[in-house]
Amino acid sequence: MSTKTDVKEEKKNLNFIEQIVMGDVEKGLNGGRVQTRFPPEPNGYLHIGHAKAICLDFGIAERFGGTCNLRFDDTNPVKEDVEYVDSIQEDIKWLGYQWENIYYASDYFQQLHDLAIRFIKEGKAYVDEQSAEEIAKQKGTPTTPGTNSPYRDRSIEENLDLFERMSKGEFPDGSMILRAKIDMAHPNMHFRDPIMYRIITTHPHHRTGNQWKVYPMYDFAHGQSDYFEGVTHSLCTLEFEVHRPLYDYYIDQFATDEYRPKQREFNRLNITYTVMSKRKMLQLVQEGLVRGWDDPRMPTICGLRRRGYTPESIRSFINKIGYTKYEALNDVSLLEAAAREDLKPRATRVCAILDPIKLVITNYPEGTTEDLVMENNPDNETAGTRIVPFGREVYIERGDFREEADKDFYRLSPGGREVRLKGAYIIQATGCEKDAEGNVTTVYATYDPNTKSGTEGGNKKVKSTINWVDVDSSVEAEIRLYDRLFAVENPSAEEGDFRDLLNPDSMKVITGARVEKSLADAKPGDKYQFLKIGYFNTDLDTKDGKLVFNRTVSLKG
């Protein structure tokens, strides 16, 4: 039994949209039912902004024992494609959500068309033959009324005839539109005779083919679709708040019962150093400015997945930033922090050397190797251990050796300090070999056999520990390091072409890196922490013995 205080407590933990829904359920609105929908237009891949809507739509249905449907808002054949329909389903499932039903706004084309005819018959709609520019000029401003179209008062018969002929494809695209006849002086600009239908004859629809020559506008389709489906809470982003009265108006014109879907709005997700618009992302893809929708620099769900983000890390980020009534710009470092937190106990810790130089341990017996036992993840008891081969020759990072070193350099230098090879022995550099240009090619060192990690001598403390991989057993890898896609914090707020704001150094590809043997069989999606370097995801390009890793995020923000 829950008491009044329990309910109060519970309410405090809900976001403001959940509180609204809870209030509605308590009041028994629409029979106390909760039904939501996630309504993407299949004109691009989902981005992390959509994840915010998905978490709310599906989350609310889950929390209140309701249902959430996936509805494709496919009312504009010019930009839509089945490729997007498929990817959207894949991404929602990957995020961990399951819809009750899949619907398409295009399933309602007949119903909507019938409704449009009913509007015409009731004197609530007319066909306007003016150009888009003329219509725009007549809109007025929020403080001055608009001007009536000269076609506003044509007869019902003429409107019916024209709309029928529009629907048959007798007129070219853009030559006329069907408008609602409401009020050109209405204080809400969206009521100034909004467009209901437009002609599109030039593009077949991805589901209905060439059956339709006229297509409903968002405002005329969305609320009606919600109503047809029985949606109780139609959640969308803040820019639709001004559309809400029109959403209600259209439904009021034909609804035959008490039931009403309720539109409520929350803030869009915006993240620093990226763009969150399908139109802009499509441009980046089409112009080859990124490697595809799933380029790990993209804010798309598939890009983040390829980068190494898990569904849990994305959901945890969305949960942390929350839902408000005010637009904001969230710092990308919050997203990165969520990835680190999630990957820390999950990612196996291994050695990778990005810029290898060979190190020969001259006093280590030739022709011998030993198997060292390494912990897979000290932050995860269940992660177990693995065997890492160690021998006379290893690769170390070029930067971990200096021929001439000052007292502040704690790593390898001839005659300098003792250094521990991670999980192995303490060594001391004795010299090096260089090529004609003076680049170091081989470092020489000696080791102390009594300092093996995991033995008593392993406790000997030294100032620094460096990474290594065994020369014989390690494997080559390509490593892709990513930086911000854009050079400015809020590219959408800048004037000019957003493409000029791309960060020219957003991707660095390192070939010839070496990773330890245990990574030889890494499969796309396998996640690692490369010690000292960051969290990495095995890339989709990994195949036939070629290893590719993406840096998800560095170890520290």
Residues that bind ligand ATP (CB under 6 A): 39-41, 49-50, 52-53, 73, 236-237, 268-269, 276-278
Residue 179, class by beta-carbon neighbours within 10 Å (0-12 exposed, 13-18 middle, 19+ buried)? buried
Minimum distance from CB of 313 to ligand ATP (Å)? Answer: 17
Is 18 a residue of the active site? no
Minimum distance from CB of 350 to ligand ATP (Å)? Answer: 36
Amino acid letter for position 554:
S
How far is the C-alpha of 36 from the C-alpha of 46, rounded, in Å? 18
Minimum distance from CB of 56 to ligand ATP (Å)? Answer: 8
Q: Which two tokens stand for residue 188?
A: 């809400």
Contact status, residue 530 vs residue 511, Cβ threshold 8 Å: no
Is the Cβ of residue 41 or residue 173 nearer to ligand ATP in the bound state?
Answer: 41
Which residue in the list 79, 260, 268, 499 is annotated as catalytic?
268
Per partner kind, with CB cut-offs from 5 to 8 A, the member of ligand ATP, Mg ion, none near residue 277 is: ligand ATP
Long-range contacts of 427-430 (CB under 8 A, 24+ apart): 427/359, 427/361, 429/401, 430/362
282 binds Mg ion (CB under 5 A): no
Is 268 a residue of the active site? yes
Is the Cβ of residue 338 or residue 429 nearer to ligand ATP in the bound state?
Answer: 338
Minimum distance from CB of 270 to ligand ATP (Å)? Answer: 6
Closest-by-Cβ residue to ligand ATP is: 49
Is 129 a residue of the active site? no
Q: Report which secondary-structure segment, H or E, holds 27.
A: helix 16-27
Is the Cβ of residue 247 or residue 390 nearer to Mg ion in the bound state?
Answer: 247
Dihedral through CA 539, CA 542, CA 548, CA 551, nearest 10?
Answer: 10
How far is the C-alpha of 224 from the C-alpha of 111, rounded, in Å? 9
Instruction: Return the residue of 41, 173, 393, 541 that touches Mg ion, per CB under 5 A.
Output: 41
Closest-by-Cβ residue to Mg ion is: 41
Is the Cβ of residue 276 or residue 419 nearer to ligand ATP in the bound state?
Answer: 276
Tell me the CA end-to-end span of the chain in Å, nearest whole number: 45
Is the Cβ of residue 39 or residue 311 nearer to ligand ATP in the bound state?
Answer: 39
Contact status, residue 294 vs residue 305, Cβ threshold 8 Å: yes
Per partner kind, with CB cut-offs from 5 to 8 A, the member of Mg ion, ligand ATP, none near residue 514 is: none
Binding region for Mg ion (CB under 5 A) out of 35-43, 177-185, 221-229, 485-493: 35-43
Q: With CA atoms as reference, report the closest residue to 217 among 76, 82, 85, 40.
A: 76
Contact status, residue 355 vs residue 477, Cβ threshold 8 Å: no
Is the Cβ of residue 48 or residue 421 nearer to ligand ATP in the bound state?
Answer: 48
State the residues that interact with Mg ion by CB under 5 A: 41
Active site positions, annotated = 41, 268, 278
